[in-house]
Amino acid sequence: MIKFLTTTAVLALAVGGLGVSARAADVKEVQMLHWWTSGGEAAALNVLKQDLSKEGYAWKDVPVAGGGGDAAMTALKAMVAAGNYPTASQMLGYTVLDYAQAGVMGDLTETAKKEGWDKAVPQALQKFSVYNGKWVAVPVNVHSVNWLWINKAVMDKIGGKQPKTFDDLIALLDKAKAAGVVPLALGGQNWQEATMFDSIVMSTGGPEFYKKAFNDLDEASLKSDTMKKSFDNLAKIVKYVDPNFSGRDWNLATAMVIKGDALVQVMGDWAKGEFVAAKKTPDKDYLCYRFPGTEGSVIYNSDMFGMFNVPADRKAAQGALAAATLSKSFQSAFNVVKGSVPARTDVPDTAFDACGKKGMADLKAANADGKLVGSLAQGYGAAPAIANAYKDVVSKFVHGQIKTSDEAVKQLVQAIDDAR
Ligand code: BGC
């Protein structure tokens, strides 16, 4: 639970609560904190800026670079502690609940009723956007992490085909290596490594195992042989990165695949936003496959705009932002560019490319089959402290500070216990 209701914050709330009669004219501006700074992300955000500008709202951008959002969340914490609430902030699942519990979120329920969100937004997302019966956040999209992004020309050159099992994937990486291409494009940052490990765990143990270990935090699953085998598989796959991978940003890793300097990246479908920005076409320039052994399952996250309890004269702008974000037309236009899929179930897939159409169909099927599970690396498996403990252990293993899979399992169990 986050504690930051300082005197300033309480004062800000009190002033905000003075009500309609005391306030000056509505502020026609939306202030948004986010970590969408790559080419594809900025293009997607532009769709929103333009929609709001048509309605007469100015955009006050608060970008905090750093994939995965850790830096952005540190900045947000400082702003909120100072009583300086943004209109909205990009947030991932459990972080929304933390802020809601701290009592600093606004209430969009009236807009939700008017717009019929209850029926349109899947329950898996409402679990995080509705707190104590009140809408406190608005989901922008659904991303999923269990994807491979492959350069088609490189794939053709090495005579590769879609890997159906983890061993197939290793054989494919070997082929790329033999051809002198970097097999695996990865950025050695903890959140990228853990995002890839999410897929490996699902592939190694299946969706039920993933859910028990990384959503239910079941101790027996966390310390199981399957978890150990997952770390063994992680050790196998990271052998295929290039020597400069440490610290590389995720979008630079995607660029390696786009340019044909590397064969494949294992990454959430925000990577597809980079292919879209580079004007690349699925099946012609690149291939999107589910991480082998995870077909039929979706490990998801969703970008939420957490709506703060801003002063009364900023609430109209906040309502406009919320309504625009969940409108059907925006959900299509934005997600086509972002690489994600709509956060509403009633948006047609017409405007989406082949990977987007597959993403939408996969989400629907996984949801119906009970194979839709929240990503631990991406804030939808457990509370932020636990996700951070997870990212830390995975990264130490990748960078050789933890030497064996046995030790990694032990440290994972310990770190998660400490963070509970
Ligand atoms: C967010 C994506 C974003 C990615 C990289 C993820 O946590 O959900 O929207 O594109 O980080 O910045």
Ligand 1 centroid–CA 23 distance in Å is 36
Ligand 1 centroid–CA 337 distance in Å is 13
Which domains does the chain carry?
Answer: 7-142+302-362 (3.40.190.10), 144-300+371-419 (3.40.190.10)
For 211-221, the pLDDT digits (tens) are 999 999 999 99
pLDDT band for position 67 (cuts 50, 70, 90): confident
pLDDT at 10 over 70: no
Q: Note the pTM of the prediction, 2 decimals.
A: 0.95
| Residues 90, 72 contacting (CB under 8 angstroms) | yes
User: Does ligand 1 come within 6 angstroms of the Cβ of 391?
Assistant: no
User: Does ligand 1 come within 6 angstroms of the Cβ of 68?
Assistant: yes
Secondary-structure percent of the chain, ordered helix, strand, coil, rounded to 5: 55, 15, 30
Tell me which residue has tokens 């930051």. 4
Nearby residues of 111 by Cβ (< 8 Å), 6 or more positions away: 117, 135, 319, 322, 323
Ligand 1 centroid–CA 19 distance in Å is 36
Closest Cα to atom 10, ligand 1: which residue?
270
User: Does ligand 1 come within 6 angstroms of the Cβ of 300?
Assistant: no
For 348-370, the pLDDT digits (tens) are 999 999 999 999 999 999 999 99
pLDDT band for position 68 (cuts 50, 70, 90): confident
As a whole number of Å, the CA-based R_g of the chain is 21
Q: What's the pLDDT score for residue 19? A: 39
Ligand 1 centroid–CA 270 distance in Å is 6
User: Does ligand 1 come within 6 angstroms of the Cβ of 293?
Assistant: no
Question: What strand order describes the sheet that includes 182-184?
Answer: 182-184, 262-266, 147-151, 286-290
- Residues 342, 333: Cα–Cα separation, whole Å: 9
- Two structure tokens written together for 174: 């070997």
User: Does ligand 1 come within 6 angstroms of the Cβ of 197?
Assistant: no
For 364-420, the pLDDT digits (tens) are 999 999 999 999 999 999 999 999 999 999 999 999 999 999 999 999 999 999 999
With H, G, I as helix, E, B as strand and everything else as coil, classify residue 188.
strand
For 133-155, the pLDDT digits (tens) are 999 999 999 999 999 999 999 99
User: Does ligand 1 come within 6 angstroms of the Cβ of 303?
Assistant: yes
Closest Cα to atom 6, ligand 1: which residue?
68
Ligand 1 centroid–CA 34 distance in Å is 9
Closest Cα to atom 12, ligand 1: which residue?
67
Closest Cα to atom 5, ligand 1: which residue?
67
Ligand 1 centroid–CA 67 distance in Å is 6
Q: What percentage of the chain exceeds 90 in pLDDT? A: 93
DSSP run (H or E) holding 83: none
For 242-286, the pLDDT digits (tens) are 999 999 999 999 999 999 999 999 999 999 999 999 999 999 999
Q: Nearest-CA neighbor of 238 among 377, 407, 399? A: 399
Q: Which atom of ligand 1 is the closest one to the Cα of 302?
A: 8
Determine the residue of 303, 334, 337 to mutate for testing ligand 1's pocket, defined as the one with the most ligand atoms within 8 A of the Cβ atom. Answer: 303
pLDDT at 190 over 80: yes
User: Does ligand 1 come within 6 angstroms of the Cβ of 35?
Assistant: yes
User: Does ligand 1 come within 6 angstroms of the Cβ of 139?
Assistant: no
Mean pLDDT over each residue of the chain, to the nearest integer: 95
For 297-342, the pLDDT digits (tens) are 999 999 999 999 999 999 999 999 999 999 999 999 999 999 999 9
Q: Which atom of ligand 1 is the closest one to the Cα of 37?
A: 12
